[in-house]
Structures are given as structure tokens and as C-alpha cells.
Amino acid sequence: MGVIDSQVQGSDRNLMAERVLLNGAGDSEFNEAVNTAVRYINAGEVIVVAAEFGYIYLADAFDKDAVKAVHILRGDQSGVAAQVFIKDVKVLTGIVNKSNINQDQLFAKFWPGLLSVTLNCQPGLSWDLGDGQRLGKVNVRVPNRKFLNHILQSTGPLVAGSVALTGKSVVTDLAKLPIYESDVGAIFDEGVLAEGPASTWLEISENEITVKRVGAISIEQLQVVIPSISAPNL
């Protein structure tokens, strides 16, 4: 399963992405797969991995070309900012401003997990998530998937986006991958994934916490932590 050096070198890579099977992998094979994923990311490649309930693209959030490639693969409109995955809440201090005194309670309760949060970025970050830094915000999450989390332990923040084309249903079966395998560096195959809800999405500012989308985490669950949170006006 080892990585062939030429596979990480764009123009010399075989037409097919390296495909790594994770189901049934022992500890040494699992760790080698993590190292393989990290090498591809560090080489500026986009890879495909499983999140909780669907396959996603993953790339270095500070590699502008890799981020752009994710947007192209997804068919995103210009100006869309990609979501960012981080390994734990400690990473937030380097990429966002603390906006609300209540946010730490939410992170302690629901991370890792299906809570996506939009926060104000730290000024001067050398990234472009697709919006040319015009929005000054980032949507961030700490995921809860073993292989994905192990990758994040060895990288910085990573851009994440569903492999489904924009507006389409999530892809849980790699047989339905809507791209040529040559479009990505490597595919990490965990078989057909279980279906499940989207993340709950909050936007946090200094004065309020706004629910933008109710998903896996209900309003009632949020209110246990922050009683003042109310349902979005849809």
C-alpha cells in the first residue's frame, strides 16, 4: 500500500488515483494510510476521505491551488468560502477571534461532532478559502471520524467539501464519485457509508449566536448549553 514517489509528483502520476482500502486494516496498515494521506496533502494534492456520513475532498487550507481545486471539483460558484476542519478547539486561537463568551461551552459539549460554526477570522491569515478573504469569516468544525481525525493530528487546518456536486445529495458510495479518479491524488475507501444528518450550523458574533441550519444537533440540545438560543426564522 506504500506511496510511490512518482504518484505525489503531479505530472508523473499515473492516471488513476492511488486507492487505499481501510476496512479491515490492522494498526500498521491504518497508520501507513494516515501517513500516505498526510504526504499527499503536504504535496498540494486533494484527497478523498470519509467524514461522518459522506465522502469529502480534503486539502491544505493554506495551499491556494489545492483549495481552488476543491472548488472546481465541486462546481462551486465564485466567491464561495470552503469549510475548514481542525483537530481540536485549541487550533481556533490561531485562526479566529473569540467572538462570544458562550462559545467555549458549545465547543466543549459538541466537538468533536456535527456542529459547524462560522466565526470571524484572525486578520492577516495567509489563506484564501475561495472568497478572496472578502468575508472575513470561516466556517469551522472538529469532525468525529477516526481516520479523518488521525490525519488532522498531523496537519494544520484542512479545507473540507463534500464530493457531491454543489446542490446534490451527499455521496456515501465511491462507485458514485462524480469525478475522474485522476482528478485527485488518492482515495481512501471505507466502503459504503451510513447515511445521516447534516451538521447543525451556527454563526457566532460578539452579541449573538444565530442558528443558520438545524441538523444533527437539535435546538433543544443547544438550549441545554445556551438557553437563549432560538430556532432560525425560516
Instruction: Give pLDDT tens digits for 60-103.
Output: 999 999 999 999 999 999 999 999 999 999 999 999 987 788 89
**Mean pLDDT value of segment 125-146:** 91
Asked if residue 13 has pLDDT above 50, the reply is no
**What is the model's pLDDT at position 206?**
84
- CB count, 10 Å around CB of 190? 19
Q: Mean pLDDT, to the nearest integer, of 181-197?
A: 97
Q: What pLDDT, on a 0 to 100 scale, did the predictor assign at position 136?
A: 87
Band of pLDDT at residue 10, cut at 50, 70 and 90? very low
Residue 57 CA: distances (Å) to CA of 62, 85, 223: 15, 11, 32
Lowest mean pLDDT among 10-14, 15-19, 120-124, 183-187: 10-14
Tell me what pLDDT residue 12 has: 45
* 21, pLDDT greater than 60: yes
> Could you tell me if 77 and 165 are in contact, meaning their C-beta atoms sit under 8 angstroms apart?
no
pLDDT in the model for residue 185: 97
Q: According to the model, what pLDDT value does residue 2 have?
A: 34
For residues 62 and 51, give the distance between their C-alpha atoms in angstroms, rounded to a whole number.
21
List, in order of start, the domains of the chain with CATH numbers. Answer: 7-225 (3.90.870.10)
Report the pLDDT value the prediction gives residue 233, as an integer from 0 to 100: 66
Rounded to two decimals, the pTM is: 0.91
Q: SS3 letters for the chain?
A: CCCCHHHHCHHHCCCCCEEEECCCCCHHHHHHHHHHHHHHHHCCCCEEEECCCCEEEEEECCCHHHHHHHHHHHCCCCCCCCEEECCCHHHHHHHECCCCCCHHHHHHHHCCCCEEEEEEECCCCCCCCCCCCCCCEEEEECCCCHHHHHHHCCCCCEEEEECCCCCCCCCCCHHHCCCCHHHCCEEEECCCCCCCCCCEEEEECCCCEEEEECCCCCHHHHHHHCCCCCCCCC
**Where does the pLDDT of residue 234 fall: very low under 50, low under 70, confident under 90, or very high at 90 and above?**
low
**pLDDT confidence of residue 89:** 95
